[in-house]
C-alpha cells in the first residue's frame, strides 16, 4: 500500500506524499527531538527532511526503501542542525565534564534525568543519533549503519562509546547503597 | 553485566520519554507548501550523485538536497517583480534583491515577490539568522544562513547561501556553517545593519556556478536581504 503511495508521490502526486508524510511526521519529530533536544531545531530538521524527500523522491529507485531513506534524510538534517548550533553557540562549553557531575543523589530519578540530559548533550550529534535509533526506534546495528551511512563497525563503536558515557553518568549519580551495605555499617 | 543492563534500561527509558507528536500547526506549515514545490529533475539527481565526492561532507549534501526541494520561485529576473530595493518592510515581510554576474546561465537581477509562497526570516536565540524563500516563476529556491557573530569583523565571512534558480544552481559556505565548502572554493562576506524595525544584510560572494552538478565558471553574487526584527 505504501509502496504504491511512494510510487505515486515519486511521479508528482502531492496528495500521495501528504498521506505518507502525515503518517510519519510524529515519528520523525520524535526522533529529531530526541537527537537535538530542542523543539525548534527538531521542527527545522523534520521540515528540511520532508521537503528534501518530496524534492528527491523521483530519484528513489526502490519504494520499499522509502522509510530507511527518509530516516537517512532526517539524520542528515539533524547533523546539519546539530553542527550549525554547535558552531553558532558553544553550547557544549557550558556542559559540565563527567567528572564534575555529583557523586550522590537525594532523588535518584530526578538526578538521573538531569545528569543524563547533560551527558547526552555532551555527545556529538552522530553519537546521539545512534543512541536514539537504537533505543527509540529499536534498530539493530546493521539497520543503524544503513540509515546513518557508516560501516557496521563504526555504528557499533559509536553506540558503545555513547552508552559507556551514559552508563558512567548513571553510576556516578546513584546513591552508594551497595557500597554502604558492604562496608558493614 | 547486570549493572550495564540496568543502566541501559535507564537510558532506554529516558530516550523513550519525551514528546511523541508534532504540533498540528507545524504539520500544516510543513506540508501545505509541498504541492507548490517542484520535484528535482532526475538528471540533476544523477549528476549530483556522481559529484558527491567533491562535496565537503554529508551536511553539505543534505543542504544541497534540501533547497533543491524547496519548490517554485518567485524571484524574477531583469527587474520584474517586487520592490526595487529592499528596505524596511511595511508588511513585515522580508525582502531581497540579488544580482548575479560573471557567468552561469542566470546572470541578472532578482527581487523578492510579495506573493512568494515561502518568505520567512527567523532570528534564532543564539543570534543567527535564517532566510528561506520559495516562490514565483521562474522557479527559485533560496536558503540563507547568517552566523551569530556576522556583525563582528571576525564573523564577516559567516554566511552560507544555497540558491536554485531555473536553470541554475550554486551554493557557498566558506565558513563551514552547514557542512562547508572545500577550502578556497568560495569567498563571501556579509555586513549587518540593524535598524529599529528591521535588519539589513549585504552579502557579496564569489562561488562556482554549479548548474550542471559540477563546479564551473565563478559567479559574482551581490545580495541585500532585509528581515523584520
What ipTM, to 2 d.p.? Answer: 0.78
Task: Find residues 38-77 of chain B whose CB sits inside 8 Å of chain A.
Answer: 38-42, 45-46, 49, 58-59, 61-63, 65-66, 68-71
What is the model's pLDDT at position B138?
61
CA atoms of A169 and B123, how far apart (whole Å): 35
Measured in angstroms, the CA of A13 and the nearest CA of chain B are apart by: 8
d(CA A39, CA B23): 10
Q: Is residue B97 part of a domain?
A: yes
Supply the pLDDT for residue A117: 86
Min distance B84 CA to chain A CA atoms (Å): 30
In a domain, B154, yes or no: yes
Residues of chain B neighbouring A116 (CB-CB closer than 8 A): 10-11, 14
The rounded distance, in Å, linking the Cα atoms of A76 and A73 is 5
Would B10 be classed as within a structural domain? no
Collapsing DSSP states into helix, strand and coil, what is residue B181?
coil
Q: Which residues of B touch A9 (CB under 8 A)?
A: none
Instruction: Give B24-83 pLDDT, tens digit per residue.
Output: 999 998 998 888 787 765 443 444 443 333 333 444 444 444 444 443 333 433 333 333
Given CB atoms, is B5 within the 8 Å cutoff of chain A? no
Nearest CA-CA distance, residue B136 and chain A, Å: 17
Grid cell in block for residue B26: 507545524
Q: Give the tens place of pLDDT for each residue, B82-111.
A: 333 333 333 478 999 999 988 777 788 888
User: How sure is the predictor about A105, in pLDDT bands with cuts at 50, 70 and 90?
Assistant: very low
Q: Record the cell numbers describing residue B23, joined without a space.
A: 504540533
**Contact assignment for A55 to B40 by CB distance below 8 Å:** yes
CA A81/CA A75 separation, integer angstroms: 10
Name every chain B residue with its beta carbon within 8 A of the beta carbon of A43: 22, 26, 30
What is the extent of the structural domain holding B82? 27-228
Identify the pLDDT of residue A159.
Answer: 92
Name every residue whose Cβ is closer than 8 Å to that of residue B65 and which is 6 or more positions away in sequence: A52, A55, A56, A73, B40, B48
Which of A122, A102, A124, A125 minimizes the C-alpha distance to A112?
A102
Residue in A51, A56, A167 nearest the CB of B7: A167
The pLDDT assigned to B221 comes to: 93
Please report whether residue B208 resides in a domain.
yes
Measured in whole angstroms, how far is the alpha carbon of residue A110 from the centre of its chain?
Answer: 22
Q: What is the pLDDT of residues B45-58, one digit of tens each?
A: 444 443 333 333 44
Interface probe with B: pick from A52, A73, A115, most Cβ of B within 10 Å: A52
- Looking at domain A1-89, its CATH architecture is Orthogonal Bundle (1.10)
What is the Cα–Cα distance from A137 to A131, expressed in whole angstroms? 9
pLDDT at A84 over 50: yes
Chain centre to alpha carbon of residue A141: 14
Q: Is the pLDDT of residue B220 over 90?
A: yes
Which residues of chain A lie closer than 8 angstroms to B16, CB-CB? 135-136
* The pLDDT value given to residue B229: 87
Q: Of B38-47, B148-157, B185-194, which range is least confident?
A: B38-47
- Please indicate whether, in this complex, the C-beta atoms of A170 and B127 are within 8 angstroms of each other: no
**Pairs of residues, one from chain A and one from chain B, whose beta carbons lie less than 8 Å apart:** 161
B3, B30, B65 member nearest A47 (Cβ):
B30
Distance CA B100, CA A86 (A): 31
Residue B80 Cα to chain centre, angstroms: 22
What pLDDT, in 10s, does the model give residues B198-215?
999 999 999 998 877 678
Under an 8 A CB cutoff, do A52 and B66 touch?
A: yes
* 3.40.50.20, 3.40.50.300, 1.10.10.10, 2.40.128.50: CATH of A95-185: 1.10.10.10
Please report residues of B whose CB lies closer than 8 A to that of A80. Answer: 59, 62-63, 178-179
The candidate with the shortest Cα–Cα distance to B112, out of B90, B134, B130, is B134
Phi then psi for residue B215, to 5 deg, are: -60, 125
Which of helix, strand or coil describes residue B60? helix
Query: If you count DSSP H runs as helices and E runs as strands, how many of each does chain A have, helices first?
Result: 9, 0
Separation in Å, CA of A43 to nearest CA in chain B: 7
A70 or B135: which carries more pLDDT confidence? A70
Let me know if residue B15 belongs to a domain: no
Phi, psi of B123 (to 5 degrees): -110, 105
The answer to whether B126 faces chain A, any CB pair under 8 Å, is: yes
**At A62, phi and psi to the nearest 5?**
-115, 105
| Of A99 and A50, more confident | A50
Q: The whole model's pTM is what?
A: 0.53
Over residues A82-103, the mean pLDDT reads 44
Q: Secondary structure of B79-105 in the HEC alphabet?
A: CCCCCCCCCCCCCCCCEEEEEEECCCC
pLDDT in tens, A15-62: 999 999 999 999 999 999 999 998 988 999 999 999 989 988 988 888
Look at residue B140 and tell me whether its pLDDT is greater than 80. no
B193-212 residues touching A, CB cutoff 8 A: none
Within 8 A of A33 by CB-CB distance, chain B residues are 18-19
Q: What is the pLDDT of residue A114?
A: 79
Helix (H) or strand (E) holding B201, with range, is strand B198-208
Q: What is the mean pLDDT of residues A159-163?
A: 91
Instruction: Tell me the average pLDDT of chain A.
Output: 79
Question: Do A59 and B49 lie within an 8 Å CB cutoff?
Answer: yes
Number of folded domains that form chain B: 1
Long-range contacts of A95-103 (CB under 8 A, 24+ apart): A95/A121, A95/A122, A97/A122, A98/A122, A98/A165, A98/A168, A98/A169, A98/A172, A101/A169, A101/A172, A101/A173, A102/A172, A102/A173, A103/A172, A103/A173, A103/A176
Domain range summary for chain A, segments of one domain joined by +: 1-89, 95-185
Q: Give yes or no for a contact between B162 and B73, defined as CB atoms under 8 angstroms apart.
A: no
Mean pLDDT for B143-169 is 84
pLDDT, position B188: 94
Contacts of B32 in chain A (CB under 8 A): none
Partner-chain contact B69 A52, CB within 8 Å: yes
Identify the weakest region by mean pLDDT among A112-126, A151-165, B44-58, B124-138.
B44-58
Amino acid at each position: 500500500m505504501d509502496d504504491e503511495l511512494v510510487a505515486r508521490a515519486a511521479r508528482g502526486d502531492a496528495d500521495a506524499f501528504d498521506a505518507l508524510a502525515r503518517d510519519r511526521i510524529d515519528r520523525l519529530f520524535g526522533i529529531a527531538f530526541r537527537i537535538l533536544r530542542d523543539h525548534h531545531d527538531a521542527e527545522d530538521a523534520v521540515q528540511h527532511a520532508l521537503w528534501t524527500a518530496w524534492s528527491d523522491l523521483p530519484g528513489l529507485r526502490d519504494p520499499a526503501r522509502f522509510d530507511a531513506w527518509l530516516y537517512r534524510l532526517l539524520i542528515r538534517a539533524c547533523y546539519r542542525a546539530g553542527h550549525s548550533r554547535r558552531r553558532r553557540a558553544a553550547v557544549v562549553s557550558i556542559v559540565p565534564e563527567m567528572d564534575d557531575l555529583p557523586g550522590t543523589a537525594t532523588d535518584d530519578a530526578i538526578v538521573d534525568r538531569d545528569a543524563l540530559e547533560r551527558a547526552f548533550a555532551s555527545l556529538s550529534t552522530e553519537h546521539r543519533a545512534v543512541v536514539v535509533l537504537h533505543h527509540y526506534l529499536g534498530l539493530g546495528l546493521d539497520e543503524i549503519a544503513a540509515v546513518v551511512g557508516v560501516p557496521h563497525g563504526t555504528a557499533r563503536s559509536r553506540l558503545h562509546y555513547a552508552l559507556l558515557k551514559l552508563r558512567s553518568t548513571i553510576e556516578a549519580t546513584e546513591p552508594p547503597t551497595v557500597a554502604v551495605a558492604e562496608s558493614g555499617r | 553485566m547486570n549493572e550495564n543492563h540496568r543502566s541501559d534500561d535507564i537510558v532506554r527509558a529516558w530516550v523513550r520519554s519525551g514528546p511523541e507528536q508534532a504540533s498540528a500547526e507545524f504539520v500544516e506549515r510543513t506540508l501545505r507548501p509541498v504541492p507548490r514545490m517542484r520535484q528535482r529533475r532526475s538528471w540533476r539527481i544523477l549528476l549530483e550523485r556522481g559529484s558527491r565526492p567533491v562535496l565537503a561532507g554529508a551536511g553539505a549534501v543534505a543542504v544541497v538536497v534540501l533547497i533543491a526541494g524547496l519548490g517554485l520561485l518567485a524571484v524574477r529576473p531583469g527587474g520584474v517583480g517586487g520592490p526595487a530595493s529592499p528596505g524596511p518592510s511595511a508588511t513585515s515581510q522580508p525582502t531581497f534583491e540579488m544580482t548575479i554576474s560573471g557567468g552561469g546561465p542566470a546572470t541578472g537581477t532578482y527581487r523578492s515577490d510579495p506573493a512568494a509562497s515561502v518568505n520567512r526570516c527567523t532570528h534564532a536565540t543564539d543570534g543567527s539568522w535564517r532566510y528561506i524563500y520559495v516562490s514565483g516563476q521562474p522557479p527559485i529556491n533560496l536558503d540563507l544562513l547568517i552566523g551569530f557573530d556576522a556583525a563582528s569583523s571576525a564573523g564577516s565571512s559567516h554566511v552560507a547561501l544555497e540558491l536554485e534558480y531555473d536553470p541554475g544552481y550554486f551554493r557557498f559556505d566558506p565558513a563551514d556553517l552547514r557542512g562547508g565548502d572545500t577550502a578556497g572554493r568560495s569567498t563571501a562576506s556579509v555586513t549587518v545593519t540593524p535598524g529599529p524595525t528591521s535588519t539589513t544584510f549585504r552579502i557579496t560572494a564569489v562561488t562556482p556556478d554549479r548548474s550542471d552538478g559540477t563546479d564551473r565558471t565563478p559567479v559574482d553574487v551581490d545580495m541585500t536581504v532585509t528581515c523584520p526584527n
